[in-house]
Chain A
Amino acid sequence: MLFFIVILSGLIFSVGLYMILRRSIVRLILGFALISNAVNLLIFISGKLIKGKPPITSENISLLKETHADPLPQALVLTAIVIGFGLIAFSIILIKRAYIINKTEDLDDLNTTDKIVVKNNKLK
C-alpha cells in the first residue's frame, strides 16, 4: 500500500510539474492543485501507514506495547488540505479576473510588469 501511494504521489508530482511548465494560466493553477494533492499524500505517508491499530490508547495504559497508528500526519494533512483549498480557490478567482482584464491566458504575454519603463517620449 505504502509503495503504491509513493508511486502515485510521484506521478501526481510529475504531472503537476508538467502542467506548471505550460504557458496557459489555467494549466498553471491545475498544476498547483495537483502538486498540492501530491504533497498531501506525501505527508499522509510520512507517519508510516499502520493498518487496524488505534491512534489513541486508553487511559490506564501507560506504555505502548504494540505498534499504534500515528494520528499526527492526518491532522497535518487536514490542515494542509484546507490551506491548499483556500489558496487554489483564491488563485482561480485571480486568473479569472486577470483573464477578463488582460484578455489573454498566455503566460508569455503577461510580461508588462517586468518591462523596464522607458523614457516618456510624449513629454519631450
Chain B
Amino acid sequence: MNPEFNLNINFLIVLPVLIPLSTVLLLIVFRNYLILSRVINLVGSFLIIFISSLLFIFANSKGTLFFAFGNWSAPVGIVFVMDMFSSVMLTIASFMTFCISIYFLSMIDTEREKFGFYIFFQIMIAGVNGIFLTGDIFNLFVWFELMLISSFVLIVLGNEKCQLEGAIKYVALNLLSSFILLIGIGLLYGVTGTLNFADLSQKIFQLINQPDEKFSFINNRALINAISMLFLVSFGIKAAIFPMFFWLPASYHTPPIAVTAIFSALLTKTGIYSLIRIFTIIFHFDLDFTNTIILVLAGFTMVTGVLGAFAQSDIRRILSFHIISQIGYILMGLGIYTEYSVTGSVFFMIHIILTKTVLFMISGLVYIKFNSYCIDNISGIYKKMPFISILFLLSAGSLAGIPPLPGFWAKFIIIKAGFESQNYIISIVAILVSLLTLFSMLKIWNICFWKETEVHTELVKSNFMSLKFSMVFPVLIIISMLLIMSIYPELFYYYSQKAGEYIMNYDIYIKFIFGK
C-alpha cells in the first residue's frame, strides 16, 4: 500500500465525530424547518453508520488505525486510536443511532423537535463516538462532558414535573462523577506527567518497578491503586455499577421512551467501555487488588439490579433495573481478566445494546396502544398485537439468556470463562441472576401479554392510533440483527475475540502509538 492511501484511511477515523458535529451545524441553520431537520438527522445518522462500517472493514484488515491531531506525535498531541474494540463499539453504536433516528420520526412530538431535540441528539452521538475513539485521557473527559451535557438537555426537554425531578438526580450524580474523574486525571498527571493511554501505561510500569523514595509517606503502588479507584468510582457512576447506580432507575423512565431507548443503548456502555480500556491498558499491574474489587462489585451489581426489578411495576423501571443487572455481566468479564472473558464482555456488550434498546422500543409501541407503562393497567397484548408480542418474547428471551438467542451465547462465554478461571462464586451468581432475569421477564410477559383480564376500555380508546411504519421498522431491523446473531454467533464471536485480543495484548496498542 502506498503511503498516501494510508494517510487517507487514517484521516477517516475523525469522521465519526466530525459528521455528527457538522450535522449539528446544519440542524442549527435549519432548526425552523421540521421536516428538513428530520431528514438531516436521518442522513447524518446514515452517514455515521456508513463511515463506521467502512472503518470497521479497514480496522479489521489493518489491525489498528491511528490519527494524531495537527501531526503532533503520540505523547504530546491528542490522538484518535481505532483498534478492533473501539471499532466494534463504534459500529454497533452507530447502528443503534440509525435505528433510533428512524424511531424518533414518530415517537418524538413536534414540540420537542422545535426545541432542538435533534441538535442535542447529534451532539450526544459526537460525544459517544469521541469516547470510543480517543487515546488521551483528558480528551476522554471532554467527550464525556459533551455527551453528558447534551444528555442532560435530552432528559429535561419537555419540562414535565417528573422529568425535572429525575434530571436533578441524574445531573447531580453525573456532575459528581465528572469531578471525581477530573481529580483522578489531575493526580495521574501529577504522578506520571502524561495523559496519553499508551504513555501512561509505560510510565506507570516504570513507576511501579522503581524503588520507593526513602522518606516518602506512601509507596508508588499504593498511590497508583488509589488513583485507579478514583477512576473506578467515576466510571462506575457513569456505568451504573453497584453502589453508584441510584441515578439510573430514578431518571431513565422520565423522558420519552425513544430517549430512554437511546440512553440505555449508549450512555452506560460508554462508562463500561472506559472501565475496560482504563483497567486493561493503564491499571493492569495489581490485578489482585483491582480485579477482586471489580469482581465483587460485578456480583453485587448483577444481584441488586435484578432484585430491584422485582419490586417495580412500571415496565420502563423494570427494564432500567435490568440495565444495571446486565452491566454486572460485562464488568464480570473484565474482572475475570482473561482473553476469553473479555471477549465475552465485548460479545455481551453487542448483545445488550441491541436487546435492551429493542425492549424499550417495544414497550414504547405498547404504550401507544395502551397509554400506560404500568403492568397492572396492561393486559392481553398478545390478543391485540400478536406480532409485537412475538418480537417482545424474542428480545426478552435474549435478555434472560434462552438458547439460541444471543443472550445465551453472551452469558455462556462469560460464565464459562468464570468457571475456567476458577471464579466459582461469581459464576454461580451469574447463573442465578440469569434465572431471576427470566422470572422478571416472564412476569411482564404473563401479566401484560398473556393474561386476559377485563380490558380497561377508557384507557385503550384514549389513544388508539395505529402503529406507524417508522415505529415498527427499526424494531424489525434490530430483531433481525438479533436473529442473525443467534443463528450465526460465530461471526460476532470472531470479531469480539479479535477485540478481546487487542484489549488484552495492550503491548500492540502501545507499540503502535509510538510508531513501532
Binding site for B on A (CB under 8 A): 20, 25, 28, 32, 35-36, 39, 42-43, 45-48, 70, 72-73, 76, 79-80, 83, 86-87, 90-91, 94-95, 97-98, 101-102, 107, 110, 112-114, 116-120, 123
Contacts and interface: CB of A to CB of B under 8 A. Distances in A.
A117 B313 contact: yes
A101 B377 contact: no
B149 A86 contact: yes
B1 interface: no
B428 interface: no
7 contacts: A42-B183, A42-B186, A79-B138, A79-B142, A91-B172, A94-B152, A101-B159
Given A46-B186, A46-B190, A117-B374, A39 B179 contact: yes
A73 B145 CA distance: 18
| Nearest 8 interchain pairs by C-beta | A46-B190, A43-B186, A98-B164, A119-B376, A46-B186, A113-B166, A39-B182, A83-B145
If over half of B's interface residues share one DSSP class (helix, strand or loop), that class is named, otherwise mixed; here it is helix
Nearest to A79: B142
Contacts of A97: 156, 159, 164
Interface stretch (B204-212, B249-257, B263-271): B249-257
Contacts of A102: 161, 164-165
B189 A110 contact: no
B492 to A, nearest CB: 36
B197 to A, nearest CB: 16
Given A36-B179, A86-B149, A116-B313, A91 B250 contact: no
A120 B189 contact: no
A45 to B, nearest CB: 8
If over half of A's interface residues share one DSSP class (helix, strand or loop), that class is named, otherwise mixed; here it is helix
B162 interface: yes
A32 B165 CA distance: 18
Choose among A42, A45, A117, A119 the residue with the greatest number of B CB atoms under 10 Å from its CB: A117
A116 B171 CA distance: 22
Contact of B168 (A45, A46, A95): A95
B501 interface: no
B311 A110 contact: no
A43 to B, nearest CB: 4
A80 B195 CA distance: 15
B187 interface: yes
A123 B145 contact: no
B443 to A, nearest CB: 14
A101 B186 contact: no
A113 B172 contact: no
Given A42-B182, A76-B189, A87-B178, 17 more contacts: A25-B168, A28-B172, A39-B183, A43-B189, A46-B190, A72-B195, A83-B142, A90-B153, A94-B167, A97-B156, A97-B159, A98-B165, A98-B168, A102-B161, A113-B169, A120-B376, A123-B456
B175 A32 contact: yes
A107 B250 CA distance: 13
B162 A113 contact: yes
B17 to A, nearest CB: 17
Nearest to A91: B171
Given A94-B156, A113-B254, A80 B161 contact: no
A119 B193 CA distance: 58
Contacts of A35: 176, 179
Contacts of A80: 182
A60 B192 CA distance: 27
Given A42-B186, A123-B377, A116 B161 contact: no
Interface string B116-160: 000000000000000000000010001001001100110010011
Contacts of B374: 117, 119-120
A87 to B, nearest CB: 6
Contact of B186 (A39, A110, A112, A113): A39
A25 B187 CA distance: 30
A87 B168 contact: no
Choose among A25, A47, A114 the residue with the greatest number of B CB atoms under 10 Å from its CB: A114
A101 B183 contact: no
Contacts of B314: 116-117
B189 A94 contact: no
Nearest to B144: A83
B171 A94 contact: yes
A87 B149 contact: yes
B185 interface: yes
B312 interface: yes
A47 B176 contact: no
B390 interface: no
A120 B165 contact: no
B162 A112 contact: yes
Choose among B175, B314, B374, B377 the residue with the greatest number of A CB atoms under 10 Å from its CB: B175
Contacts of B36: none
Contacts of B187: 42, 46
A65 to B, nearest CB: 18
B467 interface: no
B152 A73 contact: no
B46 to A, nearest CB: 30
A39 B269 CA distance: 26
A103 B420 CA distance: 56
B223 interface: no
Contacts of B254: 113
Contacts of B253: 113
Nearest to A77: B186
B106 to A, nearest CB: 25
B463 to A, nearest CB: 15
A47 B186 CA distance: 9
